[in-house]
Amino acid sequence: MKQNGVLKKISAGVALLVVGAVVMLPGAAEKVGAQPGKEPFIIKTWSAKDCSVTPWVVTDQLGYFAQEGIKIAYTGETQAALQIPSILRGDNDVRSFHPNTLAVAKAGGAKITGVAEGDIEPTDKKIDPKFRHMWWFVSSKKHPNVKTFADLKNIPGKIKVATITTNICADFETNLLADKYGIPRSKFEWVTMPDVQAIQALKLGLLDLSEVHPPFYKGMVAAGARKIADTSETGLGAAAGITYYTFRDDFIRKNPDKVAAFVRAIIRGQRWANVHPAEAAKLTAEAIGVPVNGYHYYSESLKVDDTLASRWLKDLEENRVIPRGKVTTASLVTHDIEKINSSRK
């Protein structure tokens, strides 16, 4: 994968997200209070300025973590390739990952496991398409005749396409669409960059294609890019957006009740975000530092569905990224945490 050629031509650097003072939000009568007389339990995660921030900033600022006795310590920016290693070292404790990212790590021996669902693709047609997990864009100036994903086959030579890193939603679902529309996967030349930089790179003609996540749809449209597809075309249904909140195995084993408290808090935040789109978008925009009108849609369930990962794993096996049978959907997640939370009812 190319990492430098394009990036040298566009502004780099992603600022850190630091969750600051609590704000009063419409739809939330007041911030819920922390547990009195108890020191909060610290859970570490990295700072971010990307599509992943919404549930963190919502859950933190509405006080849901505090109410469960949890305090999130933001440790600074961590590059994509170093995120799972940082969890394994104990520099961080948790983050959400797509099934293919998690599966590749586990196949390599990483002792990490998913405990709850994060993002999910909305399948209700009444939900605004801006909440679908990804949209694909081309430059209308560079490729005026490309109106659909299938039209990409008419571009001569390689197609330069952005991705944040390998084995994530971007490359997996771009390749699925390529298969669907008869475009060889080998036609893609992947260029590594975050979504916020892909907007400028596409505008400058340095890319042919870019998929981005909801906080960056508005920026793409404003830059004159043309939408040619979204994740509803992949045929994955709810699985098109699935991520799992993932901890080290020893952290789960030593702190099951704290992990369960984390899950209760962040699922509560996700439920709030789903029903308060304007307020959640405002928090997301403030965190990322760019105007947004959408963000990811989120699971509202305390249960974790490992079957949503099946197509993601199948693609890894078929393309010999991981050995067949090395990782299963059942081994990606644990149901122990949902059992703890179910027993509280």
- Residues 14-28: what's their mean pLDDT? 39
pLDDT value of residue 38: 82
Return the CATH number at 251. Answer: 3.40.190.10
Same domain, 242 and 119: yes
Do the domain assignments include residue 21? Answer: no
| Predicted local confidence at residue 33, as pLDDT | 64
pLDDT in tens, 45-59: 999 887 889 999 999
Claim to verify: residue 75 and residue 217 sit in the same structural domain: no
20 vs 190, residue with greater confidence:
190
Q: Are 164 and 136 found together in one domain?
A: yes
Is 72 part of any domain? yes
Q: Which domain holds residue 181?
A: 129-237
Do 326 and 178 belong together in one domain? Answer: no
The verdict on residue 288 lying in a domain is yes
Whether 267 and 203 map to the same domain: the answer is no
Name which of 164, 163, 67, 168 is nearest 119 in CA terms.
168
% of the chain beyond a pLDDT of 90:
81
Same domain assignment for residues 178 and 308: no
Residues 103 and 244 in one domain: yes
| Non-local CB neighbours of 53 within 8 Å, separated by 6+ positions | 17, 284, 287, 288
Q: Is residue 26 part of a domain?
A: no
The CA-based angle 204-206-210, given to 5 degrees, is 95
Query: So what's the pLDDT on residue 284?
Result: 86
In a domain, 28, yes or no: no
Q: What is the pLDDT averaged over residues 173-194?
A: 97
The CATH number covering residue 225 comes to 3.40.190.120
Average pLDDT, the chain: 90
E runs forming strands in the chain = 41-47, 70-77, 94-97, 112-117, 135-139, 159-163, 188-192, 209-212, 225-230, 244-248
Domain end (from 208, 237, 266): 237
Determine, yes or no, domain membership for 18: no
pLDDT at 287 over 90: no
pLDDT digits (tens, 9 = 90+) for 63-85: 999 999 999 999 999 988 899 99
**Is position 171 within any domain?**
yes
Are 246 and 166 part of one and the same domain? no
Q: Tell which residue, 204, 250, 240, 249, has the closest CA to residue 224.
A: 204
**Surface-to-core class of residue 145, CB atoms within 10 Å of its CB (0-12 exposed, 13-18 middle, 19+ buried):** exposed
pLDDT tens-digit series, residues 231-270? 999 999 999 999 999 999 999 999 999 999 999 999 999 9
266 and 332 share one domain: yes
Number of domains in the chain: 2
In a domain, 314, yes or no: yes
Same domain, 291 and 328: yes
* 145 and 204 part of one domain: yes
Residue 128 has pLDDT above 80, yes or no: yes
Q: Give Cβ neighbours of residue 222 (< 8 Å, ≥ 6 apart).
A: none
Q: What is the pLDDT of residues 86-99, one digit of tens each?
A: 999 999 999 999 99
Last residue of some domain: 217, 237, 257?
A: 237
Residues 141, 231: one domain? Answer: yes
Distance between CA atoms of 88 and 91, rounded to whole angstroms? 8
Among 237, 254, 272, where does a domain finish? 237
